[in-house]
Structure 1
């Protein structure tokens, strides 16, 4: 992955959870406190046969609801600019594009990639819980 164990703990130290469906591990989601009142979240549904079945929307909706109920005022995330399926999901939950970062990071093959930053405040949240 190109990061150290310490970096993993720093990134995911607040909360890393597995996503399970019918006793099968299908993915993971996480959050971390970035600054007071702001959580950065991430999700990955690893099992391709579980894509496009609503698991991501449901899990994110539950996580977002929990974060807002527990004092967070804003939630942020980013995704690869080419991941339009994820962008559609995030926008359906009420996230708004904050910025696009052109050639802002390199993938494991050394190729420059671009990302989109998203933000969500509670008043814009669309729940699917």
Structure 2
């Protein structure tokens, strides 16, 4: 009886693991690369499909440190409670460095992105 239960547990665990891997293959995490120079992002507007993304932010002599803020369009970008926290870089990108964010799932709609450390304009990210 113990062997049957143990085998059943192993089979169920394998099935759940396989299903999780299949879902990950259907929705791979993609990378959006952004480069900052003095006072601006090189990428002025972006259009991507719905999905999960990691933002990679490069500091090309823009400032001592740079970061990223992503906010749904129409929300007050000056209020941190409106920021999408997973889209913050995990560490500021120092001069000449590149840093990444956590995986961020983007639904259809419009967002704005900017850097408050290297004050940039707000740029539009459209998710279709």
Q: Is the structural similarity TM-score above 0.5?
A: no
Higher relative contact order (CA 8 A, sep 6+): 2
Q: TM-score, normalised by structure 1?
A: 0.32
The structure whose residues are more often helix, as a share, is 1
Give the number of the structure whose alpha-carbon radius of gyration is greater. 2
